[in-house]
């Protein structure tokens, strides 16, 4: 029950601060609560066919060693990723890759001493027969 209250509070506070603090990318909130070692799914985002910018604000247990992305439903062309830390610093990850449906990226090492604030993407879905959206899953390594 305590976790539900914490998550609710973080979502309420986080949604308001994420939209106020985001630069060009309004951030969708993602709450992580586990500190267990290993890979954790942080968020899932729908990806349009046209080039788009998107961001995910990360709340809760937000320190990670590495990030990984996975394309689901259809392929994705990830042009760039930028991580924003709570201390105001940020880093651009060397991405520019195309993932087929079901395929994961390499691991992108990040500064594990700093809590993440958000992850921003520039991407598009790879054209497909029915012009359907792809889905992007973001994972973090603790």
Higher pLDDT, 1 or 43: 43
Is pLDDT above 50 for 14? no
Domain 2-141 has CATH 3.65.10.10: no
Higher pLDDT, 43 or 2: 43
Q: Provide the pLDDT for residue 16.
A: 40
Higher pLDDT, 119 or 35: 119
Reference 136, options 21, 65, 25, 53; nearest CA is 53
| Strands 27-32, 52-60: pairing kind | parallel
Is pLDDT above 90 for 29? no
- In this prediction, residue 24 has a pLDDT band, given cuts at 50, 70 and 90, of low
CA distance 6 to 3: 5
Is pLDDT above 70 for 123? yes
Cα-flanking dihedrals φ and ψ of residue 10, to 5°?
Answer: -60, -40
Q: Provide the pLDDT for residue 96.
A: 93
Is pLDDT above 90 for 36? no
Compute and round to an integer the Cα radius of gyration of the chain: 15
Query: Tens digit of pLDDT for each residue in 75-87?
Result: 999 999 999 999 9
Domain map of the chain by residue range? 2-141
């Amino acid at each position: 029950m305590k976790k539900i209250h914490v998550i609710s509070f973080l979502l309420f506070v986080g949604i308001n601060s994420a939209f106020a603090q985001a630069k060009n990318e309004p951030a969708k909130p993602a709450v992580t609560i586990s500190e267990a070692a290993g890979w954790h799914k942080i968020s899932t985002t729908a990806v349009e066919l046209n080039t788009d910018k998107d961001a995910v604000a990360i709340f809760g247990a937000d320190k990670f060693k590495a990030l990984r992305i996975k394309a689901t439903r259809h392929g994705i062309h990830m042009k760039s990723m930028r991580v924003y830390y709570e201390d105001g610093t940020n880093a651009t990850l060397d991405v520019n890759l195309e993932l087929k449906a079901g395929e994961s990226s390499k691991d992108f090492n990040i500064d594990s001493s700093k809590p993440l604030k958000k992850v921003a993407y520039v991407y598009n879905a790879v054209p497909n027969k029915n012009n359907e959206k792809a889905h992007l899953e973001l994972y973090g390594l603790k």
